[in-house]
Amino acid sequence: MAIILVIFHSQGGNNRKMALSVAEGIKSIEGSDANLKDACDAGLNDLLDCSGLVIGSPEYFGYMSGAVKDFFDRTYEQARGRVFRKPYAVFVNAGNDGTGALTHIERIAIGFQFKKIYEPIVAKGEIGEDVRDACRLMGQTIAAGCAAGIY
């Protein structure tokens, strides 16, 4: 069974909608399941036990949420060398243009030595069905690749 960790932070609800859509996509793929976690509640075992991960953050002041950064800070030392080339994808609900949050998440992913397998989704404002569909497809893609052993 391919377990995909979906970590996210959401204060206003938009990132939660995106995370739930990613999880729907993951669960639609046979042989896969989503471990949907608020970044504050996710820990090292969630990261080590997953086949891949999807990271979701709002953009605050041109940066990722503090909760997502805290997840990375809490897991980095113990995860080093144990998550090499673990596939990942990112979604951002942007307050500005999303590039600040995205750049910092991707820079941290390089430090963890994750493998980027999907182009990031950056949404602005309200989350419509088009964004939710894109998030479902992201979930389906990472789940299918992990379930098939491609990543």
Across the strands, what pairs with 2? 32
pLDDT reading at 117 higher than 90: yes
pTM (predicted TM-score): 0.96
Band of pLDDT at residue 96, cut at 50, 70 and 90: confident
Domain count, the chain: 1
R_g of the chain, CA atoms, integer Å: 14
Band of pLDDT at residue 120, cut at 50, 70 and 90: very high
* Domain CATH number, residue 44: 3.40.50.360
pLDDT reading at 119 higher than 90: yes
Of all residues in the chain, what percent carry a pLDDT higher than 90?
A: 96
pLDDT at residue 126, as a whole number: 87
Alpha-carbon distance of 98 to 100, in angstroms, equals 6
Q: Which residue range forms the structural domain that includes residue 73?
A: 2-147
